[in-house]
Amino acid sequence: MANTMARSFLQVAATEEVASPLRVVQIEGLVILKIIKHCKEFSPALVTGQLLGLDVGSVLEVTNCFPFPIREEDEEIEADGANYQLEMMRCLREVNVDNNTVGWYQSTLLGSFQTVELIETFMNYQENIRRCVCIIYDPSRSNQGVLALKALKLSDSFMELYRNNNFTGEKLREKNLSWVDIFEEIPIKVSNSALISAFMTELEADTPVTQCDYDRLQLSTNPYMERNLEFLIECMDDLSMEQHKVSVSFLRVKLLLIIHID
């Protein structure tokens, strides 16, 4: 009996090692709203954050996320990002929220996200996580009426070359790989709870939402206005100093005229 149980356990463990390919990334609607809000608030600056959820078969469920802190230009010491992530995940675990890392999200500007840094980040995540994705959001394209949201992962063929230190032009040509074969886009499925779907249906039935109502919620100029105000505040000291110099020069000229007249 014990031998039979041991064999069955080994068979189950062996079958679990062969992971099914990732087919769909299922994202909660609240997570998408958080990503959009974070990226738009700091646009045109690029931001990033952590994705949390569950890996269930061929579906990667993203149920929560949190933003990473942004390092200011005048800061000399950069915050420890690893400790921040661990502390956030500990706090989420205490309130019974999914705290399993399934990837990260980041904003991009005009589709410029295919970089060497993105590949290196993927490889670092792959060392500890079996499957992970990167959610790319482009606020500039979304302003044109398109939800520019993509879920990317590295292709298996490219990961094999990169792990074996064969990431050269000759090896890529031998494997018939080009730059379009480095990343693989995974379909995104938006999921909402039954309560949220029922609430949205009730709102649409009672008070029909028009395009004008959506336009009132659009604050695309807000980040640019905040950035311009920051620049103006930085220049206020220089302006006050220049005004002081002008006033002193004016008083000197006035005194010289008075002395000359006398």
pLDDT tens, position by position, 90-147: 888 888 888 788 889 999 887 778 788 888 888 888 777 878 899 999 888 877 777 8
Picking from 68, 134, 140, 54, the residue whose alpha carbon sits closest to that of residue 97 is 54
Instruction: Report pLDDT for 26.
Output: 92
Instruction: Report pLDDT for 51.
Output: 92
Taking the C-alpha atoms of 37, 41, 47 and 49 in order, what is their torsion angle to the nearest 10 degrees?
-30
Instruction: Report pLDDT for 105.
Output: 92
Instruction: Report pLDDT for 74.
Output: 45
Q: Span 71-92, mean pLDDT?
A: 68
CA distance 183 to 159: 10
Q: How many CB atoms lie within 10 A of CB 258?
A: 9
Dump pLDDT digits (tens) for 148-158. 888 988 888 78
Q: How many CB atoms lie within 10 A of CB 39?
A: 25
Instruction: Report pLDDT for 19.
Output: 61
Q: Give the position of tokens 């502390």.
A: 87
pTM: 0.66
pLDDT exceeds cutoff 80 at 58: yes
CA distance 193 to 29: 9
* Helix/strand/coil percentages in the chain, nearest 5: 50, 20, 30
Whole-number average pLDDT of the chain:
76
Could you tell me which residue, 177 or 48, shows the higher pLDDT?
48
CA distance 103 to 60: 10
| Cβ–Cβ < 8 Å for 106, 136 | yes
Instruction: Report pLDDT for 4.
Output: 45
Instruction: Report pLDDT for 49.
Output: 92
Q: Span 230-236, mean pLDDT?
A: 79
pLDDT exceeds cutoff 50 at 10: no
Q: Give the position of tokens 């959820």.
A: 53
Distances (CA, A) of 227 to 144, 233, 234: 22, 10, 11
Dump pLDDT digits (tens) for 11-44. 444 444 456 788 899 998 888 988 988 888 887 7
CA distance 168 to 162: 9
Instruction: Report pLDDT for 89.
Output: 85
Q: How confident is the model at residue 218 (pLDDT cuts 50, 70, 90)?
A: low
Instruction: Report pLDDT for 203.
Output: 67
| Cβ–Cβ < 8 Å for 50, 88 | yes
Q: How many CB atoms lie within 10 A of CB 32?
A: 19
CA distance 172 to 196: 47
Instruction: Report pLDDT for 2.
Output: 42
Q: What is the DSSP string of 69-84?
A: PPPPTT-SS---HHHH
Q: How far apart are the first and last CA of the chain?
A: 121
Instruction: Report pLDDT for 123.
Output: 85
Picking from 85, 123, 103, 92, the residue whose alpha carbon sits closest to that of residue 26 is 103
